[in-house]
Structure 1
């Protein structure tokens, strides 16, 4: 399969952005270029919704520049999509004709339902919630969907966004004018209440787009969050109120210096935050999560799922797909990783049978992913493979997994000894109970021992049984073939499995 370069131009009401995606042979999507300009096309619409020639010239200038970039990268497919500002323009045909004739780009005008669909598509294929509400607030419109069992049930496009809210309520007023904010809150609340299917749904809300990303970034800095990235980051009502109170308390120059807030959103961030708070209250949501994947990713994912028979982006098997692709990116040997997982399963089952662990499907999932990714950092540098493994996994957006699960997998996959484990978990200790920390350390030891049992990569160990004797335990390792390497490594790593038992462990290799 050849690598694909897909150029997507998102012509929004507030910003115009070019993203060039590259898909590799493992179906991983990477951004090789990401450029935006705050064109604010919506401000060029007059009261009759006609875009001025000045606005059209701004659009053409940006698109000419972006087209040159796509030509430089030699993109395979170019998708220039236009949303609310062009969609709501009475002269949209004239705009599109000018762009086609003078720039050589045929814009794709997205209907409201398609804009909602693509944002939802990205969320459904990159997050784990089966049921939820998505919100994508742009400059001139706000798309909201309700999905159940990962299928859209309802959608609505509201004819307001951060730019229109600013125009409606803050014209000639300060960005944080209390009366303007109150009027805006009442207006947004009334708009949401008009859509009956939103009321008291009590499902998580997933927010996407630049405004959502900025709020998440600011909140992470306020609470000294210990992990990078906002995809999958969760907030609650008090956190949303915390960021809104902060934005209201700061002047525009102070907002421009605020860590995490994009400078071109300083006058628009309060309207966005108010919309999120109001929707949270209307839905009675249990939590508010941010998705770094939205309209642009949804368009590209659907295109690739339609193009390839194997559907590269899964709806229900997201986490496993993400883990396997991460492993492939670092040249993990699939047959070795699968054997390690099989050995870990055998060991875990035996420890559960002995009552040392209680069988738990969530624990098994983390064990599978941690053992599959074990020491993938060897690809970077063998001498520091544990450190590289923890860094790579903990700083990767693992779609379909929570941030806590990501750290758990990173701890398991990088396990070398208790000292390094304690060093890695230190910034995240508040996320885990003492019992959970101890169990992760024990499970990491099991993975390390399982890795030793396939030292030759020849799959010689066929089965594992543990039985109690009068002095401790016997571990029978049933094998076929030459077990010289495994015998040596197992003795060296026995401490990791022996310390789970209340007695001495005898390791007995038995040929079958």
Structure 2
């Protein structure tokens, strides 16, 4: 696969290009994303589905400049797809011919394929293994049923924000829109039910931002933001708000004309699916297209226990994998010896493992403040496969590991996302000792044992470690014995 790949997605509302750069076989990151609100579907639904000349012209202008960006970034492969509005258009051949003239081979995908790509993206890049992805676009709504990180079923419904706007909302017919939505939903296979919905697309992201603002959520991170179905009543009330009121709650000006049909569709779909929680996805069709190419020989799944964000951080920040593996063994050994005394849940092994593996990322920026830089890097770059609680705990173990006590004000705003301060402090202590043992970076051979309440570590080349540990105040007694 090409080292730098661009994926272009022409939806009913927007045209987007995402550029991905590989760092290793499965490691990758988003290098650039561009969006143009071309509204290729504008006027189409009232004109037999035909794409209008002014909309085609806007799309071509945007695509030409997408190509300029791709050339500048040395993109070696371009994968381009078009969805609902183009596939439904009787005059799509005319549009595709014009797109080919500027050098893009645009593939029109059907609704089932669009749903599949969205499903592949969330199955690989969100932290839950099961659920239903819901992607509300301008012309249609795509759903995929995901079980054990595999797409089992897909469906497409004629429910889109622009479609409903032109057919119902422009005519002030909300009751008619609701009736129409329900008539589409009953077409779904009865197996499309799950406690979890993965919200894909602009509507889902816009509504997540509104809820985050309302609840004063402490993280400015959309991907993986999770909320309960108790928020549906609040969202439903937004349909009847005027533009000024919608702007105040956080709806962006450019989305005002389509947000009401989007809200109505989103709420009705979640109710129909009987979902109890909504996980917001920052990925969708573009990532699904990219992953379908990247993982085409791997059953469209990353290897077991592989995380692309972790691998990318290791690649980009040049982390020594042997050192990381050595320190991981120590931290897990210490955890097992102390978990009963500290009353630590087994789940925290995962957080300590990722924290220790990635702890040196910030050293590339500034050695003396590396823990602060690593905190920021991990909180913002552990994008795929982690919940917000996971990301926050991993990053804060690194941020506070040099202290025995953490100031309450430093974690107060995260109280609903982090474990109790005492738990965090104990995890930090375990992390710190594992780092100190490898103070000289030689990965010394050691023996670790527990005698009563005391941890004893002995081995050669531990002079610096034994000296360092004496300056630390810990929650447990420890003796590092240097044998030469």
Q: Does 1:438 align with 2:438?
A: no
Q: Distance in 2 between matches of 1:363 and 1:143?
A: 36
* Structure 1 residue matching 2:390: 3-state secondary structure: helix
* Structure 2 residue matching 1:476: 3-state secondary structure: strand
Sort the Cα spacing of 1:38 and 1:509 in 2 relative to 1 into closer, same or farther, 3 A: same
Q: Which position in structure 2 is the counterpart of 1:230? A: 222
* Structure 2 residue matching 1:8: 3-state secondary structure: strand
For the Cα contact (< 8 Å) 1:416–1:448, is it kept in 2?
Answer: yes
Q: Does 1:389 align with 2:374?
A: yes
Residue of 216, 219, 243 corresponding to 2:211:
219
Q: Which position in structure 2 is the counterpart of 1:176? A: none
Residue of 467, 483, 486 corresponding to 2:465:
486
Q: Which position in structure 2 is the counterpart of 1:35? A: 34
Q: Which position in structure 1 is the counterpart of 2:161? A: 162
Q: Distance in 2 between matches of 1:53 and 1:321?
A: 42
**CA deviation profile, 1:403-450 (whole Å, cap 9, x unmatched):** 1111111121222214556454232023346xx321121011111011
Aligned positions of 1:76-475 closer than 5 A: 76-101=76-101, 103-173=102-172, 180-197=173-190, 201-246=193-238, 248-251=240-243, 253-255=244-246, 257-258=247-248, 260-306=250-296, 314=302, 316-317=304-305, 320-352=307-339, 355-358=340-343, 360-414=345-399, 415-418=401-404, 420=406, 422-432=408-418, 436-468=420-452, 473-475=453-455
Question: Relative to structure 2, which stretch is displaced further, 343-352 or 445-454?
Answer: 343-352
Q: Which residues of structure 1 form unaligned runs of 5+?
A: 174-179
Q: Distance in 1 between matches of 2:164 and 2:133?
A: 20
Q: Distance in 2 between matches of 1:313 and 1:486?
A: 42
Q: Distance in 2 between matches of 1:346 and 1:196?
A: 48
For the Cα contact (< 8 Å) 1:118–1:299, is it kept in 2?
Answer: yes
How many equivalent pairs are there? 482
Structure 1 residue 375: deviation in Å? 4.9
Q: Distance in 1 between matches of 2:250 and 2:175?
A: 26
| Bigger CA radius of gyration | 1
Q: Which position in structure 1 is the counterpart of 2:479? A: 507
Question: Relative to structure 2, which stretch is displaced further, 482-491 or 228-237?
Answer: 482-491
For the Cα contact (< 8 Å) 1:163–1:268, is it kept in 2?
Answer: yes
* Structure 2 residue matching 1:35: 3-state secondary structure: strand
Structure 1 residue 459: deviation in Å? 1.9
Q: Distance in 1 between matches of 2:242 and 2:434?
A: 55
Sort the Cα spacing of 1:508 and 1:125 in 2 relative to 1 into closer, same or farther, 3 A: closer
Q: Distance in 1 between matches of 2:273 and 2:36?
A: 33
For the Cα contact (< 8 Å) 2:123–2:149, is it kept in 1?
Answer: yes
Q: Which has the higher contact order (CA 8 A, sep 6+)?
A: 2
Q: Distance in 2 between matches of 1:240 and 1:280?
A: 9
What TM-score do the two structures reach when normalised by structure 2? 0.91
Q: Distance in 2 between matches of 1:390 and 1:55?
A: 45
Q: Which position in structure 2 is the counterpart of 1:177? A: none
